Amino acid sequence: MSTQDPIRRHTISVLVDNEPGVLARVIGLFSGRGYNIESLTVAEVDSNESLSRINIVTSGTPMIIEQIKVQLDRLVPVHKVKDLTLEGPFIDREMALVKVVGTGDKRVEALRIADIFKARVVDATITSFVFEITGIGEDLDRFIDLMRQLGLVDVSRTGAVALSRGTGAF
């Protein structure tokens, strides 16, 4: 059986009808069948056809990942399911807003590190910054970790959005 199979992280892209309840269906599928969600993003991507794209980052054994995909695919409002991790190279990006409170050296250091990570200051007071950073999840993790020592008070993250590389589309 699959119990010894390695657990891998997969990014799955799902094209769905933009209709009420579709997100609840997807989330209910994951919770009802005990699958893991690391992040999930959803927004309308085609207003003429009324389609939304859901990006799901999940992890599991190959058997579980296969189940997740076929279970998603049999939901009535689902048009397409694509496992970006398996089906060739892809780009994923995530954005975070990171609030840091401090004065003096820590404040200067926070600004220096933000510069290194190409994070933008989108709000500032005498004692605080809010940085906006975009990148792959691991870069955001590292940036947030560094900010912890420099007065981090709040983080908000979008979760990953993703597309395949190259000319192909779906």
> Binding to other proteins by residue 20, rule CB under 8 A?
yes
Residues 34-63 that bind other proteins (CB under 8 A): 63
Asked whether position 17 contacts other proteins by CB under 8 A, the answer is: yes
Return the residues of window 69-128 that contact other proteins according to CB under 8 A: 70-71, 73-79
| DSSP-H helix ranges across the chain | 22-32, 62-73, 104-116, 137-148
Question: Is residue 25 within 8 Å of 14, Cβ to Cβ?
Answer: no
Between 4 and 125, name the residue whose CB sits nearer to other proteins: 4
CB of 3 to other proteins, least distance (A): 9
Q: How far is CA 156 from CA 133, 134, 135, in A?
A: 11, 12, 14
8 binds other proteins (CB under 8 A): no
Pick the closer one to other proteins by CB: 66 or 132: 66
Residue 37 structure tokens: 């969600």
Segment interacting with other proteins (CB under 8 A) among 17-25, 117-125, 144-152, 157-165? 17-25
Residue 134: strand pairing partners: 95
Tell me how far apart the alpha carbons of residues 30 and 72 are, in angstroms, rounded to a whole number.
9
